Copies of this chain bind each other. A is one copy, B any other.
Amino acid sequence: MPDMSPLSTTSPCQLARRSGTAIWRQIEETLAADILAGARTGRLPNETELAAHFGVNRHTVRQAAKALADRGLVEVVHGRGTFVREGMIAYELGRRSRLAHSLAKARRIGVSQLTGQRDNVAESDVAEMLELPPDSRVTRIDTLDRVDERVVGVCTQYFPLPRFAGLAEVYQQLGKTHLALAHFGVTDFQRKLSRISAMLPTREMAQLLGQAVTQPILRVETVYVDADGIPIEYGISHFDSGAVQLVVEP
């Protein structure tokens, strides 16, 4: 085991002595703290090694590893061991880059699927983000983002009407937002603002993402503007935090 800061590490002796918390939970906490502090990467020691290190049986270690996996911190690769999560999709929040661009750069295959559509009067939040007067109408589409055939994102996008009337039908055929926007003559647009937060998914969202309801999602709200600075899209994406991380390179 590497030499670690007293803040992030509980020695095996301290583990055994702490009361009121199950031993496997204490092991989970210790490993999680090290992973979060960047002090543990790659493959975890195997069950036998961990059991010996913590002075517990393998069952206890297995419970700890299972809990880490449920939190999305590690993944079990059958036959190879337990790894600190890496190989994540890096979605670059650049001025002109959308998720599709980050995927193309990483040579990963992204496919979006339209799951719902509705024209409606904009809620106050949506109107504000799109800088629309009250009671303006917007078209809303709901989509799933699949990467390498796995659903990684659940998205809702709003576009002002009447400018983008019929966008859903176009999107359905073209499968990408930037292509649908180009159909409406918008070929030059940029990210004006992204707001990022973390939360737990709804059950429905967790089901769509194929993840545990205990695993957080990354929520990214973005406003895109056209070449004249006029908002054209307000998108809210919810990503599986075990599959996607965001990258900012100012």
Contact = CB atoms under 8 A, between A and B. Distances in A.
Interface of A: 2-3, 5-8, 21, 25, 29, 32-33, 36-42, 71-73, 88, 90, 93-95, 115-116, 118, 120-121, 123-126, 129, 140, 142, 156, 158, 190-200, 202-205, 214-219, 221, 234, 236, 238, 241, 245-250
B204 A33 contact: yes
A199 B158 CA distance: 28
A245 B2 contact: no
Contact of A191 (B2, B124, B250): B250
A97 to B, nearest CB: 9
Contacts of A33: 202, 204-205
B116 A195 contact: no
A245 to B, nearest CB: 4
A51 B71 CA distance: 34
A125 B199 contact: no
Nearest to A245: B197
B142 A192 contact: no
Contacts of A72: 199-200
Nearest to A244: B197
Contact of A247 (B2, B190, B195): B195
16 contacts: A5-B140, A8-B156, A29-B202, A33-B202, A33-B205, A38-B156, A38-B236, A41-B123, A88-B197, A90-B195, A191-B248, A192-B249, A193-B249, A194-B248, A196-B196, A200-B215
Interface centre among A6, A158, A219, A249 (most CB of B within 10 A): A249
